Structure 1
Amino acid sequence: MKKLATLISAAVVSVSFSATVMAQDTIAMVVSTLNNPFFVTMKEGAEAKAKTLGYKLIVLDSQNDPSKELANIEDLTVRGVKAILINPTDSDAVSNAIRMANRANIPVITLDRGASRGKVVSHIASDNVAGGEMAGQYISDTIGANAKVIQLEGIAGTSAARERGQGFMNAVGKNKMNLLASQPADFDRTKGLNVMENMLAANPDVQAVFAQNDEMALGALRAVQASGKDVLIVGFDGTKDGIAAVNRGILGATIAQQPALIGALGVETADRVLKGLPVEKNIAVPLQVITKS
């Protein structure tokens, strides 16, 4: 009986030790939505890097819902993950989730979209302001002076929408373009289609559209094709669908991010943090204008 008790005790210790080791090797990624090719590619980049570095990666989908996002973070604090990569649904609303992770002493790294409050060890993203300016400059260079333009905005409250819009408006002012209208379509293809249909009806003389992501650009493209108008459309993100549309000559251009690299850098940064190595507060990922080759 004494020998059996000793064996049971050893087994319990072994299980406890194994669970601790697993927790040490586990990091998490919380994505605003996996119903968007850009974030799917970001996830894939993170998964590949986690495999290379020997981490177990948990990926949770917030379904564009801040309350779901908060529940995801709460779940991860209970699981005892060692670092959290988060792509916020909303830069303001995510603050409560980040503070929850802060209280649990779990380092947080934001991807693509920043957070208004809470302690974040590093933010990894493209320069969205520069990207918006690149889109506006491309439109001006292509259409010429006094171009009549429309903007499709992303989800209000996200840093990506705010910064891309800021950059585009910088280009509008610099190049003396005429902004006919600017409305949100929430980074969504179907909403991009519906909003663009209404905006085309209200602004029949529009010459170009800047959509703050490729999904909205592709929705706008369907609306433009149905109208029979000749309108230049520029997207943002450089997704597979967006680049394919550019190469077919039906989308004017896309400002290409590198989502897989953003995900991979997130995991690399988490690895450095967990090893006690210094990391940059802001890590910029290069952008480029993709046009038909």
Structure 2
Amino acid sequence: MRLLIVATAVLAIGGLAACSSPSQSGGGAGGGVAGGGNVKVGLSISTLNNPYFVQLRAGAEAKAKELGVSLTTTDAQNDASQQVNQVQNFTSQGMKAILINPVDSDAAAPAVKLANRSSIPVIAVDRGVNGAPVAQTITSDNVAGGALAADELAKQLGGKGQVAVLQGVPGTSAARDRGAGFAAGIKKYPNIKVVAQQPADFDRTKGLDVMTNIMQSNPGITGVFAQNDEMALGAIKALGSKAGNQVKVVGFDGTPDGLKAVQAGTMSATVAQQPKLLGQESVVSAVSVAKGGNVQKVVHVPVKVATKENVQDFMTS
């Protein structure tokens, strides 16, 4: 089992809390971390139509239950304006801290500024916020992850080939940083050419559609980097029998379905994150800032490449 250390103390992840949304969790204070009794925290997640963010929510709700925090979770359904309304509602409801997983890093700024004017600390989770100060940004190291994806895809291709990139939601820090890391990494391999790049919005169905279109205009593609596992799984469906054979696919997230695809050989690798840990640590930080404490401004949770050779380690962790 992997043990990754971040700035705040990492406790064992508890059992999954109920998955309804909005939801509230409560319970006794957890050992080892100051209890969060009477602390009300709001969590706005970009979308729960993605297994990665379902895991993030589970980690947050489990930690909230452990610490006795009243956590209200909402689903923005990938709608930036809806998320702004949710954060504004959290502000008017007198939350002691707000956690935001932005739909759009720029569009989140006005709501964050409103919370700041009300002296409510905001923590950005998994994606950053542009144009407004937050108490903390806790994310995976997406730039490093993109570079790892480039190296792994190059290894799978033997250092040569034509590559397509399926990009995430435009405007999100995750899409920008993963793309930047991959672009810088793939430059090390002069015999690999990126022949197509197109957004598929971190969505499996869109990944299928976009990959289908790319294949028609670029039949010689031998590699795909998808900026999350959902798009990678859509691309694999579009590729059919070519996936894992003539065409190597590398994803990002390490979701259960993504890891199963790596195990099956249709996905060559995925850059594995720890969404439950991100959710867990965000709640710990929320309790700290709600009580007037200081937290590290930026926390990067390390990522690691999962391949068929080591995937079992990730599936049992």
Same fold (TM over 0.5): yes
Matching of residues 65-104 of structure 1 within 5 Å: 65-104=79-118
Are 1:139 and 2:153 matched, yes or no?
A: yes
Q: Look up the match of 1:252.
A: 268
Residues in 2 aligned to 1:250 and 1:152: alpha-carbon distance in whole angstroms: 17
- How many angstroms apart in 2 are the aligned matches of 1:127 and 1:147? 27
Measured in 1, the distance between the counterparts of 2:171 and 2:231 equals: 17
Cα shift at 1:274: 2.1
Partners of 1:261 and 1:227 in 2: CA distance? 34
Report what 2:170 is aligned to. 156
- 1:238 Cα shift? 0.5
Whether 1:30 aligns to 2:44 is yes
Q: 1:66 is matched by which residue type in structure 2?
A: A
Corresponding residue number in structure 2 for 1:189: 204
- Structure-1 separation of matches of 2:91 and 2:134: 16
Shift in Å, 1:142: 1.7
Pairwise CA distance, 1:226: 6.2
Which secondary structure state, in structure 1, belongs to the residue aligned with residue 270 of structure 2? strand
- 2:73 counterpart letter in structure 1: V
In structure 2, stretches of 5+ residues that fail to align are 1-35, 310-317
Tell me the secondary structure at the aligned position of residue 187 of structure 2: helix
Separation (CA, whole Å) in 2 of partners of 1:40 and 1:116: 24
One-letter amino acid of the counterpart of residue 148, structure 1: Q
- Pick aligned residue for 1:274 from 287, 290, 293: 290
Q: What root-mean-square deviation, in Å, do the aligned CA atoms of Structure 1 and Structure 2 show?
A: 1.5
User: Which moves more between the two structures, 222-231 or 266-275?
Assistant: 222-231
Deviation at 1:75, TM superposition (A): 1.2
Contact 1:24 1:81 in 2 (8 A): no
**Structure 1 segments of 4+ aligned residues over 4 angstroms from their partners:** 226-229
Shift of 1:141: 1.3
Determine if contact 2:38/2:70 at 8 Å carries over to the other structure: no
Write 1 or 2 for the structure with the bigger share of helix: 1
CA distance in 2: counterparts of 1:134 and 1:50, whole angstroms: 33
Give, in angstroms, the shift of residue 24 of structure 1: 4.0
Gaps of 5+ in 1: 1-21
Would the aligned equivalents of 1:224 and 1:230 in 2 still touch at CA under 8 Å?
no
Once the two structures are superposed, residues 137-161 of structure 1 have per-residue CA deviations (whole angstroms, 9 ceiling, x without a partner) of 0011121223211100001111100
Match of 2:55 among 38, 41, 55: 41
- Corresponding pairs, count: 272
Alignment match, 2:247? 231
Most deviating of 229-238 and 31-40 = 229-238
* Matched residue type, 1:84: I
What code does the residue aligned with 1:279 have? Answer: V
Does the 8 A contact of 2:39 with 2:290 survive in 1? no
Q: Which structure has the larger Rg over C-alpha atoms?
A: 1
Distance in 2 of aligned mates of 1:145 and 1:108: 43
Q: Displacement of 1:25 after TM fit?
A: 2.1
Counterparts of 2:299 and 2:67, CA distance in 1: 20
Relative distance call for 1:23 and 1:77 in structure 2 (3 A) is: farther
Residue 133 of structure 1 deviates from its aligned partner by 0.5
**How far apart, in 2, do the equivalents of 1:150 and 1:234 lie?**
11
Structure 2: distance between partners of 1:23 and 1:64 = 31
Please state how far the C-alpha of 1:270 moved relative to its aligned partner. 0.8
Deviations 1:2-36 (A, max 9, x none): xxxxxxxxxxxxxxxxxxxx994211110000111
Structure 1 residue 227: deviation in Å?
Answer: 6.4
> When the two structures are superposed, what TM-score results if normalisation uses the length of structure 2?
0.83
Contact between 1:27 and 1:58, CA under 8 Å: does it hold in 2? yes
Which residue identity lines up with residue 123 of structure 1 in the other structure? T
Contact 1:24 1:82 in 2 (8 A): no
